[in-house]
Amino acid sequence: MRLKVALSEQDHVQGSDNAKVTLVEYGDYECPHCGRAHPVVKRLQKQFGDSLRFVFRNFPLNEMHPLAEPAAEAAEFAATHGKFWEMHDGIFEHQSQLSVEFLSGLAKKNGMDPQALADALGSGAFEEHVKQDFMGGVRSGVNGTPTFFINGQRHDAAPDFESLSEAIEAARKG
Amino acid sequence: MALPAVGAPAPDFTLPVTPDQTVTLSELKGRPVILAFYPADWSPVCGDQMALYNEVLPEFHKHHAELLGISVDGAWCHAAFAKDRKLHFPLLADFEPKGAVSKLYGAYHSAGFSERALFVIDKEGVIRWSYCSPVGVNPGADGILEALEKLSGEGTHAA
């Protein structure tokens, strides 16, 4: 299965444009498997340094995880303030505390106006962005969360450090 | 086991959808039908195949398609599973005789459960697309959407 949506302005990217390997994650902020994958990604970034670029796209499973959508929209809201990764990390690092109040507190902690966040969530200002991420994922064969793509190729093995680092290493050499 | 050929009429069947109701495939003629055979309710992963289809359901409905999940679990089990996962589409119980419809579609695994086989049937009841995924691999929804788009005569789909 290959990733069908190329990187664009809409994406949140960490790492160098010249990196040999791009790791794309489709994730859900309320999904416990994604919560466990979060430190794995951090470790991979440390391990591969400049040779790895990381992209996170939203794939909220809303029927199962009612807070996944507001969390995704809150991260997109933060992105418009240049604070996407602060929000992203803050949510995954405190996943068990996830609530609308928590998102509001996290926004405030990172220097954003909680009322502006509440307005954005209320008006669905970032709903379309999240939906576009989701449908792009569906079209690329995302079949659950987290789903990783390494240089566009879906990683079907377990999303653990060993298997991901092995696949990244292979892509780096390839 | 071979899947029925694309272009062949979909084998008709009647299965329980709740403990006291049944669904007959031929009665759904007039709109496309997606059959999604899957191994079991209560798979231990988040975002499993049925949960994914639940999220993509509005896209299936844009093509006026009806989605039917089918496994060998009983109707009571399906009811509890559907309620727990908030599924908004019917799950059919291929329970008695066990796996009979799965076998009809070449989608029965010898270990006693349905394979992850997908069928898109057109409004005339003809199989237009099928795919069988390894049991451990969730086939996702992209193949179904592409098949439905072909039926609708659309080239590309605006997400």
Q: What is the pLDDT of residue B159?
A: 42
Token reading at A136? 């792009």
- State the best of A62, A138, A142 to mutate against chain B, taking most chain B CBs within 10 Å: A138
Q: Give the closest of A65, A139, A142 to B159, CB-based.
A: A139
Share of chain A above pLDDT 70, in %: 100
Q: What is the pLDDT of residue B45?
A: 62
Sequence spans of domains, chain B: 34-152
pLDDT band of A149, cuts 50, 70, 90: very high
- State the best of B42, B48, B52 to mutate against chain A, taking most chain A CBs within 10 Å: B52
Q: Please give the residue of chain A at the shortest CA–CA distance from B146.
A: A139
Q: Does 3.30.230.10 match the CATH number of domain B34-152?
A: no
Rounded distance, CA B38 to CA B29, Å? 23
Mean pLDDT computed over B85-113? 96
The yes-or-no verdict on residue B81 having pLDDT over 70 is: yes
Mean pLDDT computed over B10-29? 97
Which positions in chain A have a beta carbon within 8 angstroms of at least one beta carbon in chain B? 1, 28, 31-33, 59, 61-65, 131-132, 134-136, 138-145, 156
Q: What is the pLDDT of residue B157?
A: 46
Gap from A28 CA to chain B (nearest CA, Å): 9
Phi-psi region at B152: left, alpha or beta (left = phi > 0; alpha = psi -120 to 50) = alpha
Q: Decide the pairing of beta strands B21-24 and A153-154.
A: unpaired
The yes-or-no verdict on residue B130 having pLDDT over 70 is: yes
The yes-or-no verdict on residue A137 having pLDDT over 80 is: yes
Mean pLDDT computed over B129-158? 85
As a whole number, the mean pLDDT across chain A is 96
Lowest mean pLDDT, pick from A51-65, B31-45, B90-104: B31-45
Give SS3 for A166: helix
Chain B residues with CB-CB distance to A2 below 8 A: none
The yes-or-no verdict on residue B129 having pLDDT over 50 is: yes
Q: Do the Cβ atoms of B140 and A1 come within 8 Å?
A: yes
Q: Do the Cβ atoms of A145 and B47 come within 8 Å?
A: yes
Lowest mean pLDDT, pick from A84-98, B44-58, B112-126: B44-58
Phi-psi region at A32: left, alpha or beta (left = phi > 0; alpha = psi -120 to 50) = alpha
Lowest mean pLDDT, pick from A78-82, B2-6, B69-73: B2-6
As a whole number, the mean pLDDT across chain B is 92
Backbone angles phi, psi at A8, to 5 degrees: -145, 180
Q: Do the Cβ atoms of B88 and A145 come within 8 Å?
A: no
Q: Do the Cβ atoms of B51 and A63 come within 8 Å?
A: yes
Q: Please give the residue of chain A at the shortest CA–CA distance from B145.
A: A139
Cis peptide leading into A146, omega within 30 of 0? Answer: yes
Mean pLDDT computed over B34-45? 88
pLDDT band of B76, cuts 50, 70, 90: very high
Measured in whole angstroms, how far is the alpha carbon of residue A23 from the centre of its chain?
11
pLDDT band of B43, cuts 50, 70, 90: confident
The yes-or-no verdict on residue B158 having pLDDT over 70 is: no
pLDDT band of A140, cuts 50, 70, 90: very high
Mean pLDDT computed over B77-85? 94
Give SS3 for A93: helix
Query: What structural domains and CATH numbers belong to chain A?
Result: 12-173 (3.40.30.10)
Mean pLDDT computed over B52-64? 96
pLDDT tens, position by position, A162-174 = 999 999 999 999 8
Q: What is the pLDDT of residue B154?
A: 55
Told to judge if B77 belongs to the known catalytic residues of this protein, a careful annotator would answer: no
Share of chain A above pLDDT 90, in %: 94
Mean pLDDT computed over A40-44? 98
The yes-or-no verdict on residue B55 having pLDDT over 70 is: yes
The yes-or-no verdict on residue B44 having pLDDT over 80 is: no
Mean pLDDT computed over B124-139? 93
Q: Is B77 on the interface with A (CB under 8 A)?
A: no
Say how many CA atoms lie within 13 Å of B154 toward its Cβ: 12
First to last CA, chain B: 35
Mean pLDDT computed over A141-152? 94
C-alpha distances (whole Å) from A64 to each of A67, B45, B85 are 9, 12, 6
Residue A54 contacts residue A41 (beta carbons within 8 Å): yes
Q: Do the Cβ atoms of B47 and A144 come within 8 Å?
A: yes
R_g (Cα) of chain B, nearest Å: 14
Q: Do the Cβ atoms of A143 and B85 come within 8 Å?
A: no
The yes-or-no verdict on residue B155 having pLDDT over 50 is: no
